[in-house]
Amino acid sequence: PGRLLDHLGRGTVRLAAVRVAVLDEADRMLDMGFLPDVSRILAATPAARQTGLFSATMPPAVRTLAERRMRRPVWVAIDAAVPTVETVEQYYVEVAERDKVRALRLLLSREPVTSALIFRRTKHRADRLARLLGERHRVGVLHGGMAQGARLRALRAFEEGARPLLVTTNVAARGLDLPAVSHVINFDMPEDVDTYIHRVGRTARAGRTGVAITFVGEHDLEVFDALRRRLGDRFRKHPLNVYR
């Protein structure tokens, strides 16, 4: 959105003829700080336009945007009947926060990982973990703080197998077509069940099977309990024991 705003400021783009505006993954725009820019862009379009807003979750900021920039919006909610695909084996590992790096190294030495997305909550945590893993593994990193060219290079290296481990934030939880991911590892517990479902959905694509492993630390119990209630027997304890 920043580039479009720049063109609007320069007068090199006019939006007076826009009749339809579509905002996809609005909650991801919120996470990446783009919603204010999007709101300014919509303000430059005719008020009589038709607007479609699509979002996996509906946080208050997204609802506010809809109410301000849409005329009499109609809300349509679709709840998935099955939270995650049946071909994903889903495990958890109980491990103290201070021992997670050791647990991940141990896991990578025992699991048949061919390619893995390793999720962290922030870009700084992702950078740090990538540096630590890079001492022993071929690792890439991907997050919203990187330039577009750097993100594309990281994705290419991951897809081609040059760096089969990709430490990332939720920027990779949706919108990327990565069909050959064998493992999703939640190094940091997702913020909620919906985020978990989107992360895990990166594996077992295009008819393949996949494995999702979630580290559960001492501060993760609320979301962990919600996951166990939602997934039931499909969410099993992994045999990895960090303390044995």
The 10s digit of each residue's pLDDT in 81-101 is 445 667 899 999 999 999 999
d(CA 118, CA 237): 18
Q: For 60-73, what is the mean pLDDT?
A: 82
Look at residue 220 in the predicted model and tell me its pLDDT: 96
Q: Report the phi/psi class of residue 81: left, alpha or beta, with left for phi > 0 and alpha for psi in -120 to 50.
A: alpha
Residue 198 has a pLDDT of: 86
| 186 or 146, which is more confident | 186
CA distance 225 to 244: 25
DSSP letter for each residue of 39-92: HHHHHTS-TT-EEEE--SS--HHHHHHHHHHSSS--------SSSS-TTEEEEE
Residue that wins the pLDDT comparison between 232 and 174: 232
The whole-angstrom separation of Cα 51 and Cα 172 is: 26
Average pLDDT over residues 93-113: 96
pLDDT (0 to 100) of residue 129: 98
List, in order of start, the domains of the chain with CATH numbers.
2-69 (3.40.50.300), 88-237 (3.40.50.300)
Residue 175 in this model has a pLDDT that exceeds 80: no
Separation of alpha carbons 130 and 236, rounded Å: 27
Coil, helix or strand at residue 216: strand
Distance CA 155, CA 108 (A): 20
Length of the chain: 244
Answer yes or no: are the C-beta atoms of 238 and 103 closer than 8 Å: no
Alpha-carbon distance 120 to 95, whole Å? 15
The pLDDT of residue 177 is 75
What's the rounded Cα separation, in Å, for the pair 174 and 12? 32
CB 215 within 8 A of CB 95: yes
- pLDDT of residue 138 exceeding 80: yes
Return the minimum-mean-pLDDT range out of 14-18, 47-51, 173-177, 230-234.
173-177
Q: What is the pTM of this model?
A: 0.73
pLDDT digits (tens, 9 = 90+) for 37-53: 888 898 999 988 998 98
- Give the three-state DSSP class for 112: coil
pLDDT of 32: 67
Contact 104, 185 (CB under 8 A): yes
Residue 120 has pLDDT above 90, yes or no: yes
- The per-residue pLDDT for 174 is 72
Q: Average pLDDT for residues 51-73, to the nearest whole number?
A: 81
